[in-house]
Structure 1
């Protein structure tokens, strides 16, 4: 059983005022007596692997949303109960855990904050069985029945940032580098079209194995290609190591970087001395100037303390995932899978980013372009 105390101990969290008594954990093969007063949400989140750097702040964000919603009576009168499962390991292991959840009837809803390669595995297990809310940035195009994705997608996130850099920074030569899995593959296909629309050209592209820590060959190719901008789709810890090496090779002062999945947690890992000329586009930054964000940050720090892990874009999406579910269920009047899917088109929910609307199975939100300044990001444009 994963308890409040074990979560705090594992991630060294202070005791938050809003943390509920127990965060449940599904035990494979064990059928628990079902309490219909509870809404059991199986939360698949990367706690290990390259994306594991977002684990502690993502758990905080989800727990905060759960506590706030439960304090108002829950979702359709049912108190949320989270069970947390590591989605950062081998996909076969993650799939086995998901199958155990289905077989043991241990969840009503699935919440996912993990890499797209895991989403493709989990959606096969949960399709037609459980609603599955997927929260972080992704490649777009999700159409599997029952999967509801609310993260940023390339047309709204990458395209305007590329156009801005082409116009304001005269960026014409682009080098693309990403992790070797589905999100960078599909994102780069779209990015190449946007670069061509902006009148630029791609002078090189690499895909790097997950967990690779020697980026010297890629940096040498980048240096030889002399791009104006390096477009980076490396995930989590892999992005941290690449950006450190990029600066150590003396490239930071000579070319721009546009990161495809970058937030304050990653910037902290890169280090203040290695973020020169680093840009990022996202639907959320910690200093985003919205009333919803100011309220979110105040409640987050009130619950977890001023020294808690920074809730950047990836982490904050876990908070919005539960608020999206609350808004959708209220609109549908049910938590039935088909009812929730039918209610998604045109739904509007409130989160730290303000009001977000769903249209054609895609979340519509303002996108910020920001430039790193040490560990912080200064907003340069809003699209």
Structure 2
């Protein structure tokens, strides 16, 4: 499927195609998720096409690297929209990119943002299909308080809108409870260097928390997990993350995941027919688009929550269509109230907030074992 530059050159789309700007990260700390998200999007597109397409049109992706500067990403997508080269936008990417993209597409074409986020997005024609902090973070902290008596937390996050907004929402959501946030540290995206992590680990030790809430992205989360374990803090301090998946677990390594809990709507270990069906389809799609091994030998990893939300976001985008390809008016209607089935269960969208089933898992080496449903 097409690259953004090629699509901009052609400027006029084939009327038999539903052309979607698929914004996924290929670089930066979130680039670790790019291959799995593409495989999931391609699986959704194949399923949609097999069911008759979108208003009779087949899905055609125009690929946009969403891992670079948010303003540059938004400019690329804005140029595609102005050229009439795309009908809609979707994909998994960070909230700083979402904010920039929303400004250039608002009221022009529908945009489904397929990632857990901090909440509050109301731009015209924009649908956010991922989990929000109240369902994902607050519910998990309350479970950990009740079941494991973890009450005192320290936040470590990247310094951009999602971690900052999620930390703020977490503090607000915990008001009136006996769960306390002792301190916060935020680091730039792409943060590296052992001295930097050591400084943060010293602050954590000084605060003496029961646990650390990690609001870190991709490879930054991997580096923190390794530094945390190397310092021996994993023996006595619990970690909790709402933004870690199986890919990050594998990259962190089994020696770096002790006392680590993860919350999300999706986990590859969910025991349901729809979850198994998605995992099987994902493996085929991953091998088709990303595989490098011998024919017939799968190299697909387990699909993480980033892949599953990308898949579900594409199905949501196609599902809101009426007699034509999806329009801003269709997105407005869905914003007010919509529902769809995902591989992790039914999701309801009301006034722009997507309510998901949310599960809590604990690390066992590089595997994630689901231990509770917290919402």
Tell whether the structures are fold-level matches, with TM greater than 0.5. Answer: yes
Task: For residues 214-235 of structure 1, give each alpha carbon's deviation from its aligned partner in whole angstroms, at most 9, with x where no partner exists.
Answer: 3110001101111001011011
Which residue is 2:56 aligned to?
77
Structure 1: distance between partners of 2:191 and 2:325: 45
Tell me, yes or no, if structure 1 residue 58 matches structure 2 residue 37: yes
Which residue is 1:329 aligned to?
321
Tell me, yes or no, if structure 1 residue 26 matches structure 2 residue 17: no
Residue 96 (structure 1) shift: 2.2
Worse-superposed segment, 340-349 or 151-160: 340-349
Residue 362 (structure 1) shift: 1.6
RMSD between aligned alpha carbons? 1.5
Structure 1: distance between partners of 2:335 and 2:321: 9
Mapping 1:362-373, distance limit 5 Å: 362-373=353-364
Structure 1: distance between partners of 2:87 and 2:345: 27
Task: For residues 71-107 of structure 1, give each alpha carbon's deviation from its aligned partner in whole angstroms, at most 9, with x where no partner exists.
Answer: 1210111111011110101123212212221221110
Residue 312 (structure 1) shift: 0.3
Residue 296 (structure 1) shift: 0.6
Contact 1:163–1:198 under 8 Å retained in 2: no
Residue 309 (structure 1) shift: 3.5
Which residue is 1:227 aligned to?
209
Distance 1:304 1:205, change over 3 A: closer
Residue 170 (structure 1) shift: 1.2
Distance 1:303 1:211, change over 3 A: closer
Structure 2: distance between partners of 1:32 and 1:224: 58
Contact 2:21–2:89 under 8 Å retained in 1: yes
Structure-1-length-normalised TM-score: 0.90
**Helix, strand or coil: the match of 1:252?**
helix
Which residue is 2:272 aligned to?
290
Structure 2: distance between partners of 1:312 and 1:55: 11
Structure 1: distance between partners of 2:105 and 2:128: 14
Distance 1:115 1:368, change over 3 A: same
Picking from 164, 170, 174, the partner of 2:143 is: 164
Mapping 1:141-160, distance limit 5 Å: 141-160=120-139
Which residue is 1:183 aligned to?
162
Which residue is 1:252 aligned to?
234
Structure 2: distance between partners of 1:96 and 1:327: 27
Aligned length: 360
Contact 1:41–1:83 under 8 Å retained in 2: yes
Residue 333 (structure 1) shift: 6.3
Tell me, yes or no, if structure 1 residue 133 matches structure 2 residue 112: yes
Contact 1:61–1:300 under 8 Å retained in 2: yes
**Helix, strand or coil: the match of 1:30?**
helix
Residue 334 (structure 1) shift: 5.4
Which residue is 2:337 aligned to?
346
Which residue is 2:248 aligned to?
266
Contact 2:318–2:326 under 8 Å retained in 1: no
Residue 287 (structure 1) shift: 0.9
Which residue is 2:290 aligned to?
none
Residue 58 (structure 1) shift: 0.4
Structure 2: distance between partners of 1:242 and 1:201: 22
